[in-house]
Amino acid sequence: MQFAIAHTSWIGLVRIISIFGAAALAGYTIAIRIVIFVILPSWGLSNAAATLVGQNLGAGHPERAEKAVWRTGLYNVMFLGAVGLVFIFFPEPIVQLFTKDPAVVSLGAACLRIISYGNLGYAYFMVMMQAFNGAGDTITPTIVNFFGFWLLEIPLAYWLAIPLKMHSNGAFAAIAIAESSMAAVSAILFRQGRWKKQKI
């Protein structure tokens, strides 16, 4: 359900972005493909956090599990933060590796740059979600995903893009805002420590 909620939300974003033409949709598609490829190491770190939580809770060391998650989150922030800086300052040359269409390059670069502003939040969000899963708490990530992707990101993307006339940039901004918001909520829920009482 977690992955279904997250991935189907992209369909909603595609529908909104498609309103602004083929170039906007192409730019978004290229940018997202680049992001998905580059964050693969972050998925590895997040899965490591899940393993560390499960092992330490099983060994009766919840404090060590919590420390491992915060440290893994920091490493992920360092990695995605560095990636984000590259995408923020040099998005055009990266997008030009995949297309030479000036309109697509411009929109793809804008997407890459705007989404990267949410990289620090997304780095922690990924780790926190997997940490909950590693503790046996699959409900919390599912709820956070539902509220973050479907009740925040999609309506916000529509509102910024159409009523506020930010066009495709509004949809891109909604991604960064939603990811940062979900990271903040996840950190609060994680700090509350209810996951430590889950039965694995």
Average pLDDT over residues 139-146: 95
pLDDT at 1 exceeding the cut of 90:
no
pLDDT of amino acid 199? 56
The pLDDT assigned to 80 comes to 96
DSSP state of 85: H
Task: Tell me how far apart the alpha carbons of residues 100 and 127 are, in angstroms, rounded to a whole number.
Answer: 36
pLDDT beyond 70 at 200: no
Query: How much is the mean pLDDT over the chain?
Result: 94
- Side chain identity, residue 10: W
| Placement of tokens 């693969």 in the chain | 40
d(CA 14, CA 99): 19
Q: pLDDT digits over 25-65, tens only?
A: 999 999 999 999 999 999 999 999 999 999 999 999 999 99
* Mean pLDDT score, 118-136: 94
What is d(CA 49, CA 70) in angstroms, rounded to the nearest whole number?
Answer: 9
| DSSP string of 16-42, one letter each residue | HHHTT-HHHHHHHHHHHHHHHHHTHHH
pTM above 0.85, yes or no: yes
* Residue matched to tokens 């891109």: 172
pLDDT recorded at residue 7:
83
Distance CA 15, CA 151 (A): 16
How far is residue 39's CA from residue 54's CA, in Å, rounded to a whole number? 23
Percent with pLDDT over 90 in the chain: 90
How is the chain split into domains, by residue range? 2-10+23-193
